[in-house]
Structure 1
Amino acid sequence: MFLNAGSVVRGVMVLLAVASLLSWTILIAKSVELVRVRLALSRAERVLGEANTLNLGEEWTRDRGGIAHRLVMAAEAEREQSQDIPDDREGLKERIVLHLERLEAAEGRRLMRGTGLLATIGATSPFVGLFGTVWGIMTSFTGIAASKATSLAVVAPGIAEALLATALGLVAAIPAVVIYNHLARQSAACRAQVADLTSLVMRLVSRDLGRMQAPTTSGQIVRLGTTRDARTAGGE
């Protein structure tokens, strides 16, 4: 049926076959990527959950890299840039939250990268297949008119070849839509983990700010970002 179809219909079929192949390729590639990301995020959650200060969190996530380290470094950078602003704990928290939200949104866009092609394939493949079918039927009717033969044996093969394009369009579109929804759910789960990391980083920031204001036994103030507890700092 493919070989007997016209050149336009064959081109449409080849295009739909390539689109279907791309859908399955994206599924495999993104699934592997998202599994790795989720494992890395889970490890980062454990590390930041065990850390007691922001400096310690930065040290523990340094070798792992990834979004967790970028979040910690963003909080560190904003904290250092705000050292000349006195008594601005709430303002510092707000600025850090804004910076972390930008990083979180950028990570969400990165996780969804490549899935837009799936949406395009799922939305356009049926119409591309329909175009191939309409063109094939037009060609068949033109041939029938030229041959002046109206028997079913003459009409049926051309129409069947044309309808194959619509079938291939559905074969390409349905998996693409299912794959897109699956990857969207997986990406949403990863984004939720990134949001959890943001909360953990803000918890460390809040702890450090609290220590900065907490007087030691000798009346001294613990510096922001120290990795030692108040008792040790007071004894020095």
Structure 2
Amino acid sequence: MESDAIGTAASNADFSLIGLIFEADPVVKLVMLALLAASIWSWVVIGEKLFSMGAARKKARQFEEAFWNGRTEDLDLRPGAGADAASRVFSAAAREWADARRVVPGSGEAAAIVNRAERSMRATIDRELGKAGTGLSVLATIGSASPFIGLFGTVWGIMNAFLNIAEQQDTSLGTVAGPIAEALFATGMGLVAAIPAVIFYNKFTGDLTKLADQLDTFSQDVLVRLSRRASDAGRE
């Protein structure tokens, strides 16, 4: 009879996804909602970064090709801001070159011009990397915090299971199955939110490092050409 009662109680319990959510303790429900919101937020950030990071690197490569093909040879003709990271780095050097030509035309301040251009490009690169890295902190936070939030829901659900045992003086499966299932489901939701966030955080961090290296290399190429032009102007 006791085994039949246990089986009946277990069979009457709703262990479906929706059932676990609606029958969960209010605290566990709050944990599940927080993890669901974190998961949605992380996927929004992931989608945006997949598009923007790839576009940034592609446009930088295209501008570098234009630079090496000679279509951006005249630095003093490009003082305006560009439409991508590499062109804005180039424009930073172009502005310094144009300002130097207006203030001290033909002077021997080649080293000073190059130093100012280098500082200006460095500041521009830092701004571009900061812009490209927007949202990575969200992924880092979700990836690190979600498992612990899910673990809190697990601990709370198991605590409820023991409270049910104490209240009903019954250790049968029907008494503890629901709270334990809710607890395990909270753990699962924490992992579902955390795993993609960690994976894509590492990917985007690597992409950001590649973009930084790409812009640094390009800025050095620009400085070489600028130094040559400044030296030639100083000898005129």
Same fold per TM (> 0.5)?
yes
Instruction: Pick one of 102, 124, 138 that aligns with 2:159.
Output: 138
Instruction: Pick one of 85, 89, 93 that aligns with 1:71.
Output: 89
CA–CA distance in 2 between the matches of 1:126 and 1:73?
45
- Which residue of 2 is the match for residue 118 of structure 1? 139
Structure 2: runs of 5 or more not aligned: 1-19
Q: Give yes or no for the alignment of 1:36 onto 2:91.
A: no
Structure 1: runs of 5 or more not aligned: 215-220, 222-236
Contact 2:142 2:194 in 1 (8 A): yes
Task: Output aligned runs, 1:52-71, within 5 Å.
Answer: 52-55=73-76, 58=78, 65-71=83-89
CA–CA distance in 2 between the matches of 1:156 and 1:211?
82
Q: Give yes or no for the alignment of 1:24 onto 2:24.
A: no
Question: After alignment, is 194-203 or 120-129 more displaced?
Answer: 194-203
Q: What's the offset of the Cα at 1:70?
A: 2.5
TM-score by length of 1: 0.81
Q: What's the offset of the Cα at 1:41?
A: 0.5
Instruction: Pick one of 118, 121, 128 that aligns with 1:100.
Output: 121
How many residues align? The count is: 212
Instruction: Pick one of 153, 177, 199 that aligns with 1:156.
Output: 177
Instruction: Pick one of 190, 196, 206 that aligns with 1:185.
Output: 206
CA–CA distance in 2 between the matches of 1:190 and 1:172?
27
Instruction: Pick one of 8, 19, 24 that aligns with 1:5.
Output: 24
CA–CA distance in 1 between the matches of 2:124 and 2:142?
29
Contact 2:76 2:98 in 1 (8 A): no
CA–CA distance in 2 between the matches of 1:12 and 1:200?
52
- Which residue of 2 is the match for residue 47 of structure 1? 66
Contact 2:108 2:234 in 1 (8 A): no
Question: After alignment, is 139-148 or 176-185 more displaced?
Answer: 139-148
CA–CA distance in 2 between the matches of 1:87 and 1:185?
42
Contact 2:92 2:117 in 1 (8 A): yes
> Percent identity between the aligned chains?
33
* AA partner of residue 66 (structure 1): D
Contact 2:35 2:189 in 1 (8 A): yes
CA–CA distance in 1 between the matches of 2:115 and 2:180?
65
Say if 1:84 and 1:211 are closer, same or farther in 2 by CA, change over 3 A.
Answer: closer
Q: What's the offset of the Cα at 1:99?
A: 1.3
* AA partner of residue 199 (structure 1): Q
Report the 3-state secondary structure (helix = DSSP H, G, I; strand = E; otherwise coil) of the residue aligned with 1:132: helix
CA–CA distance in 2 between the matches of 1:87 and 1:173?
58
Deviation digits for residues 148-178 of structure 1, max 9, x if unmatched?
1122332232212112111111111111100
Q: Which has the higher helix share?
A: 2
Question: After alignment, is 19-28 or 83-92 more displaced?
Answer: 83-92
Question: After alignment, is 107-116 or 14-23 more displaced?
Answer: 14-23
Deviation digits for residues 72-117 of structure 1, max 9, x if unmatched?
3322332344434942211221121111111111111111101110
Q: What's the offset of the Cα at 1:64?
A: 5.3
Q: What is the alpha-carbon root mean square deviation over aligned residues?
A: 2.1
* AA partner of residue 138 (structure 1): M
